[in-house]
Amino acid sequence: MSIMTHNTKLPPAVRRVLDAVRRRIRAYVWLQGIALVALVLGVAFWIGYFLDRFFEPSPTVRQVGMFLIAIVTLYVAYRYVLRRAMVCISDASAAALLERRFPTLNEHVLTAVDVASRPDRAASFHPQLVHETQQSAAQAVASVRAEELFNRGPLLRAVGAAVFLAVSIGLFALFSTDAFGFWLKRIALSEEPWPRRVHLEVAGFPADDAGRRVQKIAHDDDFELLVRASTAGYKLPDEVEIRFRLADGRRGRDTMIRVGEAQPSHTVAGVSDPGHKQEAVAGALDPGHKQEESQLFRYQFKRVASDMEFDVVGGDDRLRDLRLAVVERPELFAIELECVYPDYLDREPRRLPVTGGMRIPEGTGLVLRAGSTKPLTAVHIHRTNTQDDPDTKLAFPDNPREELRWEYGTLSDDDVLLVSVTDTDGVTSREPYRVSLATVRDEVPQVAVRLSGIGTAITPEAILPVVGKVTDDYGLERAWFEYQIDGAPAATRPVHVAGLSEAGIIPNGEPLLETLGQFDLRAADESTGQRAIVLTPGQRFSLSLKASDRFNLADEPHTGSSQQFTLDVVTVPQLLALMERRELALRQRYEVIFEKMTDTRNLLNRVEFEPVGAAGSAAGDERASNDTGEPPVSTPERALARRRLRVAGSLQNVVQSADEVAGVAEAFDDLGEQLTNNRIDNPDLKSRLREQIAQPLHRIGEQRMPQLAAQLKLVEEHIADPAAGATELARSIALADEILVEMRQVLDRMLELETYNEVVALLRNIITDQDEINRQTKERQKERLRNLFEE
């Protein structure tokens, strides 16, 4: 009997089967994993191709996509290759797999593997039993085929799909080389878009620092988008659509308007200012496009209030990520005019804030200054008063400025400046800033003078006093008299008053001259020392006062002149006769005033303060009715109304008479001054005119009559009080009587003066007759002498 020992090693046949199972598992894992990775990459290739072809994502989006694809690929490689391929397959696992797949093994292989893997445990079994188990396992695996262990379906599907995708990609590369190569360039993050059957162009959206196409427009401004679809080698789209995205997340789309058929391409998109559209059109797109080579589409964005992004889609072309950025318009502030005044104004330069219409003196040099809320790149200034070159354009794109300074030049006429500014965002001010310049012309000096104490006639020895004033808006330079005798050439004489030079020069350019002096006909010529003006009765003498200012913008300064005073030169008797006629007219005028005051006194006498119903009132009413033609008063109200009416009428007459008396007094003063100014030595006549007539009249008109007017106002205040009213009325009547007495005294003196004048006139006539008799006597004597000589 032989002795058996424990042999725990697996039979060679079992070992070969187990090793075959491990190899096939690893091959299956690698093939399936590689196929799945290839499948992922192939699917990613085609999905990416179609997405990129139709949507053309940006390089950033493509980078993100490739990153996601890489993550998915790594996951698939790890999940289906690395994680499974690196797993250690033990004999027990392989045996268990065989036992599940082939139930006929009856766990012989699993028992043999268990005995071989744990020899210490196998020692507890009978060697014969172990041997038989191993033999049974060897016999059982003899009929097992390891390839039948696997389900080839998933592997075949994965490999088939991977092969299909690889073949499709290869065919695509073979038959569509250009598209394949372009897709590879797109995978390499090229920004070049896919070739299109439709070609769209939009201009006016320059790229910013980040490469985005941005058009900046002003807040709440309209924006007209113009797009051109090329027809030169491209298909014309049926419509072009805008797909926009607002800042708040809202989205929308709209169709652009087709403009005509095959419109010329000389238009641009993104011109928000209609006034500058033609300039932008000319430079933004190629002007060489023919009319039939493009189709124009337009769309109007209304009152854009916030940023927005949009795409323009037409056919298979798409302009992506166009952006409208809303910015504020540039605004000017602190607009000022720097004024350099002409020499004749004698002013220091100054700056004037622009407010409404600016009134600027003629000849002022101007500089326009202003600050800006945004840096400026261009300024457009339009002038309305010139046709030659009305527009001025200032451009400084490389050196934006936040301050405007423009030299206007010298202002010579009214002008209006229209100032438009453009900032670094390309946004122009909505409305031009208007600066109205009104030229203040240098006015001619105003000479408002008259001859004082001179009538229409003078004697050859007269003095002509000049009163009034000479004014100028800025400053006077010189003042002089200009005179003319009959039709002789005009001559001049400087005004000689204190403060003026010998030549009539006004120092310091004063704008007002009130002391004008007098023109003496007996004045001597400074060069010869003899009398400069010799007049004879019968001539006409004309005199005017002239003045010039300091205006120096023309060949001659501005000269102003008074009216021309034309005077008849007469003898002393002739002048006295003229004055007598004027005195007679004044007396007649004074008599009318005296009669008016008498009527006023009578009207005051008819004012009654007796109450109605009192004794004698009816008779008084009847008497008043008979005197005035008014119906008798029977009520207190009507009596009060009549009193008020009569007092008011009296007051009005007194006020008017005061003014008239003052006028007569001034006229008599003038007569007295004429005697003095014409160098007529007649003290008695001067005394009568001034002391006996003019001065009393001034006292009556300026003192006495205003006293009567004040007294009548007291009567009006107490018109409803019979007691107080009657008292004040009595005082008024007494004062009126006194004034009438004084006026009668003056009238008597006028009559005495008239009598005196009549006597003088009679003597003058006697003298004239005597002169005539003497002349006739002399002529007869001469006639007799001639007759004697002839005999």
| pLDDT tens string 655-674 | 999 999 999 999 989 988 98
pLDDT at 105: 60
For residues 451 and 463, the answer to whether their CB atoms sit within 8 Å is no
pLDDT average, residue stretch 681-693: 84
Tokens found for residue 777: 């006597």
What pLDDT is recorded for position 664?
92
The pLDDT of residue 766 is 62
Q: Residue 141 — pLDDT band, cuts 50, 70, 90?
A: low
Q: Which one is predicted more confidently, 124 or 31?
A: 31
- For position 91, what pLDDT does the model report? 61
What is the per-residue pLDDT across 215-232, written as a single tens digit (0 to 9) for each?
888 888 888 999 988 888
CA distance 87 to 97: 15
Averaged pLDDT, 600-606: 90
Average pLDDT, integer, range 475-488 = 90
CA 269 to chain centroid: 30
pLDDT, greater one: 534 or 90: 534
Q: Which pLDDT value is given to residue 786?
A: 75
DSSP string, 632-700: PP-SHHHHHHHHHHHHHHHHHHHHHHHHHHHHHHHHHHHHHHHHHHTT---HHHHHIIIIIIIHHHHHI
What whole-number distance in Å separates Cα of residue 485 and Cα of residue 473? 33
Q: Residue 64's closest CA among 77, 54, 51? A: 51
Q: Kindly report, residue by residue over 548-591, the tens digit of the pLDDT.
A: 998 888 888 999 999 999 999 998 888 888 888 888 888 889 99
pLDDT range class, residue 140, cuts 50, 70, 90: low
Separation CA 328–CA 219 (nearest Å) = 6
The rounded distance, in Å, linking the Cα atoms of 655 and 600 is 11
Q: Are 107 and 99 in contact (CB under 8 A)?
A: yes
What would the mean pLDDT of 328-337 be, rounded to a whole number? Answer: 91
pLDDT of res. 778: 78
pLDDT at 18 over 80: no
**What tens digit of pLDDT does each residue of 227-256 get?**
988 888 888 888 899 998 888 888 889 999
Other C-beta atoms lying within 10 Å of the C-beta of residue 721: 12
How many whole angstroms from its chain centre is CA 13?
108
pLDDT at 437 over 60: yes
Q: Give the chain's length.
A: 791
DSSP string, 413-476: S-EEEEEEEEETTS-B-SS-EEEEEEEEPPPPPEEEEEETT--SEE-TT-EEEEEEEEE-SS-E
Q: Judge contact between 651 and 683, C-beta under 8 A.
A: no
Q: How far apart are CA 260 and CA 300, in angstroms?
A: 17
pLDDT digits (tens, 9 = 90+) for 51-80: 888 777 888 888 888 899 999 989 888 888
Give the pLDDT band of residue 119 (cuts 50, 70, 90).
Answer: low
Can you spell out the DSSP letters for 43-89? HHHHHHHHHHHHH---HHHHHHHHHHHHHHHHHHHIIIIIHHHTS--
pLDDT exceeds 50 at position 620: no
Mean of pLDDT values over 111-119? 59
Straight-line distance from the first to the last Cα atom of the chain, in angstroms, rounded to the nearest whole number:
238
Does the pLDDT value for residue 93 go beyond 70? Answer: no
Query: Which pLDDT value is given to residue 196?
Result: 78
DSSP string, 653-669: HHHHHHHHHHHHHHHHH
Query: DSSP string of 156-179?
Result: HHHHHHHHHHHHHHHHHHHH-HHH
The Cα 694–Cα 666 span in angstroms is 7
Say if residue 342's pLDDT is above 60: yes
pLDDT of residue 126 exceeding 70:
no
The pLDDT score that the predictor gives to residue 511 is 87
Whole-angstrom CA distances from 766 to 298, 415, 570, 758, 772 are 112, 76, 20, 12, 10
Mean pLDDT confidence for 284-297: 59
Query: In this predicted model, what pLDDT tens digit does every residue of 745-770 receive, in sequence order?
Result: 988 888 876 655 555 555 556 666 67
Across 83-95, average pLDDT: 66
Mean residue pLDDT across the chain: 80
Contact 403, 369 (CB under 8 A): yes
pLDDT digits (tens, 9 = 90+) for 254-289: 999 998 876 444 433 333 343 333 333 333 444 444
Flag whether the pTM goes above 0.75. Answer: no
Residue 102: its pLDDT value, please?
64
Q: What is the percent of the chain where pLDDT is above 70?
A: 79
At 709, the pLDDT band (50, 70, 90 cuts) reads: very high
- State the Cα torsion 266-269-272-278 to the nearest 10°: -10
What is the rounded CA–CA span in Å between residue 490 and residue 4? Answer: 174
pLDDT band at 788 (very low <50, low <70, confident <90, very high): confident
pLDDT, average across residues 85-96: 65
The confidence score (pLDDT) of residue 775 equals 75
- What is the model's pLDDT at position 616? 42
pLDDT of residue 692: 87
d(CA 393, CA 263): 32
Cβ–Cβ under 8 Å, residues 84 and 26: no
Is it the case that residue 166 has pLDDT exceeding 80? yes
Q: How far, in Å, are 558, 632, 646, 648, 738 from residue 600 at the CA level?
A: 55, 22, 9, 11, 13
